[in-house]
Amino acid sequence: MAFIDGTVVNVALPAIEADLAASVALIAWIVNAYTLCLAALVLIGGALGDRFGRRGTFVIGIAIFAAASVWCGLAASAAQLVAARAVQGIGAALLIPCSLAIIGASFAEHERGRAIGTWAGFSAIAGAIGPVLGGFIVDHSTWRWIFLINPLIALPTIVIALRHVPESRDAEAPPGLDWPGAVLAFGGLGGVVFGLIASPDRGWRDPTVAIATGGGVILLMLFLWAQWRSRAPMMPLDLFRSRVFSGVNLLTLLLYSALAGAFFLLPFDLIQVHGFSALAAGGIFLPFTLIMAGLSRWSGGLIDKVGARAPLIAGPVIVALGFALLALPGAAAPYWAFLLPVATVGVGMAVAVAPLTTSVINAVPAHQAGVASGINNAVASVARLLAVALFGAIALGSFNRAIDQRLAAPLAPAVKQTIANARGKFVVEPAPATIAENDRRTADTIIRAALADSIRLSMLLAAALALGGALCAAVTMGPSRRKP
């Protein structure tokens, strides 16, 4: 359910922006309200599962997620949709860490890699359904149904969990929950993300942007201080004394930042620049998820055969290659020119994800599997949160500068006005019918070219981040050793 939702929403963003007359900033918050709550509370969710029972916490998270999905589907405005997405994030913060912690508690270390690979494979299958289903819904109905399908999945999921998933707890879990830490994390991340999203329109010198960003950084520093001082921290800092644990989490931050930022902008490129339908745009992601589904179980066993270092270097390098290829297609590029790069990204992620997750859990004692899983999920969520804000800000800033440069050229007044109206938007609106056909085509070509250039820059940034992840693995992971 969580993976379908994650892949569906990106495909529907252009339709949501047009239907709700939302700005790029609000569109970013539709993604980030969910991710912010997930990132700030996922560690609390893991701790709740460790203390009170992972299966019970998992089921409660599913119920909250499903109820919030109904609210998303009925939202009358972009602001309501943002609020509903925040509640969805709360539900996800309960169900996601508990799902991996249940596996960690149920399988011995020598079986855990393949078990997590199976989990990743089924998650990828669910994710594969999302873009195609979302694109079909957007093309033939309303985007609201992409949220209303979640309750249909929730009921059988709860039944399966109650009947077949064993309950597990951590007998050594601390008695308290770190709510002050959650509040500091929420406020700190929220402030930084607000600053990133608002900066293209308001500028970094704007008092609101400066106060929000500076305040967010201060709160995050206070969060780290509070974790160090707390007797029951939501993020035990002593786990980061492990070089492997620290390195894998830094790799997670870089790799998932690249993935989230690039895939946030790719549907706008496909639909707005190249004119593909929402269904076709959703289909672009199908090779990615199918490859992950097919290879994840195999890659889960890699760590038992060659160790973690080799796949955690090779995977991000392949991902970087895929993003670099996504920066190449021109305005008239055929559909297959996008399928191959996305498939390449899928191969790289399939090689890396299961060894990455297994390394996180294996780097800590078994009774801390829930906490370790929660921290790694929190890092991945923070990566998505910051990446959507950062990539959106960079792409929008680049797009606005490209528009301003083109406005300085000698163009007809009607063309200039149409181009100026596109500033600050990722949805290319049709030029007014009152201007000449030739002027409409000129304005449309200029706007699409500016948007394509800004997204191309973002793909290169994603490639650089993925390469940074490979470098991180090379530096922090020990030499791979073949197990007997």
User: 154 and 225: one domain?
Assistant: no
84 and 185 share one domain:
no
Give the H/E segment covering residue 182: helix 179-202
Q: Is 77 left (phi over 0), alpha (psi -120 to 50) or beta?
A: beta
Of 229, 262, 291, which marks where a domain is finished? 229
Say if CB 98 and CB 41 are below 8 A apart: no
Give the domain-ending residue among 197, 229, 261.
229
DSSP 8-class letter at 78 = H
Residue 206 located in a structural domain: yes
| CATH code assigned at 18 | 1.20.1250.20
Whether residues 50 and 113 share a domain: the answer is yes
Domain shared by 56 and 197, yes or no: no
Note the pLDDT of residue 174.
65
What are the distances in angstroms from CA 460 to CA 359, 465, 472?
28, 9, 19
> What pLDDT shows up at residue 183?
87
Which of these ranges, 211-225, 332-346, 368-382, has the smallest mean pLDDT?
Answer: 368-382
345 domain residue, yes or no: yes
Identify whether the C-beta of residue 110 lies closer than 8 Å to the C-beta of residue 55: no
Of 16-20, 128-132, 252-256, 344-348, minimum mean pLDDT range: 128-132
The answer to whether residue 425 is domain-embedded is no
Q: Is residue 289 part of a domain?
A: yes
244 and 277 housed in the same domain: yes
For residue 11, the SS3 value is helix
Judge if 283 and 383 occupy the same domain: yes
Can you give the pLDDT at residue 253? 93
For residue 190, give its domain range: 179-229
Asked if residue 390 is part of any domain, the answer here is yes
Q: What is the mean pLDDT of residues 421-446?
A: 76
Structural domain count of the chain: 2
Confidence check: pLDDT of 55 > 80? yes
| Number of CB atoms found within 10 A of residue 246's CB | 15
In this predicted model, what pLDDT tens digit does every residue of 453-480 receive, in sequence order? 888 999 999 999 999 999 999 988 766 5
Q: Is residue 427 part of a domain?
A: no
Instruction: Measure the CA–CA gap between 352 and 45, rounded to whole angstroms.
Output: 25
Residues 196 and 312 both lie in one domain: no
Which range (61-75, 130-144, 355-369) has the least confidence? Answer: 355-369
Nearest to 13 by CA among 29, 35, 34, 36: 29
Percent of the chain predicted with pLDDT > 90: 21
- 40 found inside a domain: yes
Mean of pLDDT over the chain: 83
Contact between 216 and 195 (Cβ < 8 Å): yes
Q: How far apart are CA 388 and CA 394, in angstroms?
A: 10
Domain co-membership, 210 together with 246: no
Say if residues 40 and 234 touch (Cβ distance below 8 Å).
Answer: no
Q: Which residue has the higher pLDDT, 254 or 48?
A: 254
Q: Are residues 294 and 328 in the same domain?
A: yes
Give the C-alpha distances (Å, rounded to integers) separating 212 from 195, 203, 328.
6, 13, 36
Give me the pLDDT at residue 149, please. Answer: 84
Q: Region 146-164: what's the mean pLDDT?
A: 89
What digits encode the pLDDT tens for the residues 326-358? 998 876 788 888 999 999 999 999 888 878 878
Query: Rounded to 5 degrees, what angle do the CA atoms 37, 284, 12 make?
Result: 45
The letter for the amino acid at 245 is F
Residue 403 has pLDDT above 90, yes or no: no
Q: How many CB atoms lie within 10 A of CB 330?
A: 11
Domain boundary among 229, 261, 288: 229
Say whether both 190 and 243 belong to one domain.
Answer: no
SS3 at position 21: coil
Give the pLDDT score at 227: 84
Percent share of the chain, pLDDT over 70 = 92
Average of per-residue pLDDT across 423-429: 72
Are residues 300 and 352 both part of a single domain? yes
Q: Give the pLDDT confidence score for residue 58 in this predicted structure.
A: 92
pLDDT at residue 478, as a whole number: 67
Q: Of 127-136, 234-243, 399-408, where does mean pLDDT reach its minimum?
A: 127-136
Residues 108 and 189 in one domain: no
**431 lies in some domain:** no
Spatial distance between the Cα atoms of 157 and 2, rounded to a whole number of angstroms: 12
Closest of 99, 101, 100, 89 to residue 39, by C-alpha = 89
**482 pLDDT tier (thresholds 50, 70, 90):** very low
Find the mean pLDDT for residues 223-243: 82
